[in-house]
Amino acid sequence: MKLKAEVTIDADRATVWKYFDDADNIPRWQPTLKSLLQISGTPGWPDAVREFHYEEKGRTRVVRETITARREPDFLAGTTESATSNSVIVNHFDDAGEGKTRWVAYWNLAFKGKARFTSLFTHKSIQRRIDEQMNRFKLLVETTEAKS
């Protein structure tokens, strides 16, 4: 399943990157995240591995992320693996002019086992979740920066 989402944030790329690259901010825009463990490598840099533990609808979901490429402040890519899927995620941060940044995220998801079948019915809900997370991130950056 291939997905694309984008949002324009009222902050320059350096500011957006600062928030995106700070792991302490992740629970602020991914509210179901319960813990984040750095497994190996330098956080946010190629070959770094970390585990995200989410609590959703009474179930725990563990996602292992590996960073594959980083070009600050333009680009971050990685792979994820969970019990139900593998994915490649590519994030682009483009100058949108007037001190704004356009964040475009591309997701290529491959489902495992019975999730292959259920994924036929979950495309819209997965897209909605990604859009909601990106909008929460936008709100985090814009409201925090407005206070400073």
Of 54, 25, 53, residue with least CA distance to 139: 25
* CATH number for position 125: 3.30.530.20
Q: Which helix (H) or strand (E) holds 36?
A: strand 33-40
pLDDT, residue 142, reads: 97
* Residue 51 domain-assigned (yes or no): no
Domain count across the chain? 1
* Residue 112 domain-assigned (yes or no): yes
* Residue 79 domain-assigned (yes or no): yes
pLDDT, residue 120, reads: 66
pLDDT, residue 57, reads: 87
* Residue 39 domain-assigned (yes or no): no
Domain of residue 94 covers 2-30+74-147
**Consecutive 10-residue averages of pLDDT for the chain (148 residues):** 97 97 96 97 97 94 98 97 96 98 97 75 86 97 86
